[in-house]
Amino acid sequence: MQLPLYQIDAFTDRLFAGNPACVMPLEHWLPDEVLLKIAQENAVAETAFFIPEGDDFALRWFTPEIEMDLCGHATLATAHVIHTILQHPGDVLRFHSRSGLLKVNVEGARYVLEFPARPPVPVELPESIRLALDRMPVAVLQSRDYVLVYASEEDIREIQIDRQVLDRINLDPGGVVITAPGSDCDFVSRFFTPQASIFEDPVTGSAHCSLIPYWSGQLGKKELLARQLSDRGGTLYCADQGTIVKIGGEAMTYFTGTCRVNL
């Protein structure tokens, strides 16, 4: 079986930046174990699989370890493949997923995700996370992910996290996001996933489902500019709309090819 395969750099306007995702169109779902093996072979943080459903699409995301409940950068990458490469008509794409109906609006070169808001609530810092940190946050919250708030962008850039310690906990499908006010943007972040093959995710759209409502409340702003401070880096254009958050970004095509799968 020969299947098309695309790799897209999401949340960036240049190659070799942002978060790489693989995207594979399907005519029907393959067995879950095959989807997982394809994701493992691709060896990027997420592989998105989609099939047409009338004018809409069904969408699933796999890491090399598990199926995810929500993924921002791979959704943006999928929208880029459908709209720009496959030239699907229209500027609104609708995806049915484990997190419900997701919309992506095409606005020029930017793809704007409409995702469910996941406001985090204050919690105690688990000892297993505290022991992995070289500096303590000023606030700790949680929704799907633990959100550790720091005082400055310098803290986010310079923090050292002991992976051996953090890998002792299992947060599937969540992770640990650290965040602070930005020096040239509204807020910055980094994202870490214990026990994952890719420990630090380059740009994490789904984490912004919690970061956007938090920083919107803290800063008194509905529209925010965010940067993720991984080595690759990424820029996200955000808006708080109550139960919905908007997460915008650009994308670049890295490769198009064919995958050969024997079933």
Q: What is the pLDDT of residue 123?
A: 97
**Residue in 202, 179, 156, 177 with CA at minimum distance from that of residue 12:** 202
What residue ranges of the chain have pLDDT lower than 50? none
* Numbers of helices and strands, H then E, in the chain: 6, 18
Q: What is the pLDDT of residue 258?
A: 96
pTM value > 0.85: yes
Q: What is the pLDDT of residue 263?
A: 79
Q: What is the pLDDT of residue 170?
A: 85
Catalogue all structural domains in the chain, each as residue range(s) with its CATH number: 2-115+248-260 (3.10.310.10), 121-242 (3.10.310.10)
Q: What is the pLDDT of residue 171?
A: 85
User: Could you tell me which residues come within 8 angstroms of residue 191 by beta carbon, excluding any fewer than 6 positions away?
Assistant: 145, 175, 176, 177, 178, 200, 201, 204, 207, 228, 230
80 phi-psi bin (left φ>0, alpha ψ -120 to 50, beta other)? alpha
Catalytic residue among 33, 41, 46, 200: 46
Report phi then psi at 155, rounded to 5. -60, -40
Listed in order, strand segments (DSSP E) in 70-144 are 92-97, 100-107, 110-116, 121-122, 139-142
Q: What is the pLDDT of residue 209?
A: 97
* 197 in Cβ contact with 168 (< 8 Å): no
Judge whether 200 counts as a catalytic residue: no
Q: What is the pLDDT of residue 178?
A: 98
**Residue in 183, 125, 129, 130 with CA at minimum distance from that of residue 156:** 183
Torsion sign (Cα): 142, 146, 152, 153: negative
Amino acid identity for residue 254 in this structure? Y
| Element spanning 214, H or E | helix 208-219
CA distance 100 to 113: 13
CA distance 162 to 217: 31
